[in-house]
Structure 1
């Protein structure tokens, strides 16, 4: 009987030891797997975060390049001055020239920066030339061009006249951006409408100048911010 029991006890102990070893191995394997999954998850999270940061930085850089560089352009679908026909367009164009000439002359008396003075002098010269080139086209079409600002700018002028220095310059530059975007839009929009070859040619010549003014105004305005 003892001979039978002893072998059985030995076999039982061996079986228990084998189970214990198997359980330990299984636990170690599970732990290793969990650690591997955790590491992979952390790595994936880090990669995703880095990718998002890179994407954001790239987007910010792209936006900065778009806002800071290149020529400002007309938007024919944006706000425009009245231009239902050639006569109305030419009247609006002449008013636009006077708006910029008169406000720019005012700017030269308001203690603005050298950059703003340079811009104002260019506005006066270019818009004076613009009207001079438009006059014979208008005369041939029987249109008498206005020689003063439009009603909106006549109402604005007294407010501008009360400002000086940096305060005036900030307002002036902002107005130049608004005015030139609207003028550029009007030129581009009417270009597609007019059947007057001479007027179309005038628009072709004038639009790049207005877009240049718009870009310069944007640049100087951004520098004031």
Structure 2
């Protein structure tokens, strides 16, 4: 997959659904890794929220995908598998910083993708899913931006 894929509008609805499901898996699995690494405080709260909200997002998308004959991926995309492999070697503050920066980047891409695809798709089910899910992703993005603003100054 091209690295610019997630930020560009997808040409088809199935492509968008696959991307959305990959996005959920990326956040869920990186967040599970964060919890396994023993992150604490706000980072732990964020990780738990990612797992809950992105699990729900996939659950909301599944019936739409099934109706359209699209099989959603159940694992991270290749880019995030590589990121996860790099993050496995990190710990403590270094890991938390990388995790939070990755979450910020991912959520910005996802918001861009959702906004772009909502304008493009003719599918009422997908428009409904995007309308329902976008505010959640935007809230995540705002949360990570706020954290980045407060944590970056002491570097």
After TM superposition, the score normalised by the length of structure 1 is 0.64
Runs of 4 or more above 3 Å deviation:
none
How far does residue 111 in structure 1 lie from its aligned partner after superposition? 3.1
Structure 1 unaligned blocks of 5 or more: 1-78
Q: 1:214 aligns with which of 134, 141, 146?
A: 141
Higher deviation after alignment, 182-191 or 156-165: 156-165
CA distance in 2 between counterparts of 1:142 and 1:82 reads 21
8 Å CA contact 1:81, 1:183 repeated in 2: no
Q: Residues 81 and 99 (structure 1 numbering): CA distance in 2 closer, same or farther, change over 3 Å?
A: farther
* Matched position secondary structure for 2:98: helix
How far does residue 223 in structure 1 lie from its aligned partner after superposition? 2.1
Equivalent in the alignment of 1:147: 74
Instruction: Choose 1 or 2 for highest CA Rg.
Output: 1
Q: Residues 140 and 194 (structure 1 numbering): CA distance in 2 closer, same or farther, change over 3 Å?
A: same
Q: 1:184 aligns with which of 111, 114, 129?
A: 111
After TM superposition, the score normalised by the length of structure 2 is 0.91
8 Å CA contact 2:9, 2:117 repeated in 1: no
Q: 2:93 aligns with which of 162, 166, 172?
A: 166
8 Å CA contact 2:9, 2:116 repeated in 1: no
Query: Root-mean-square deviation (CA), in Å?
Result: 1.1
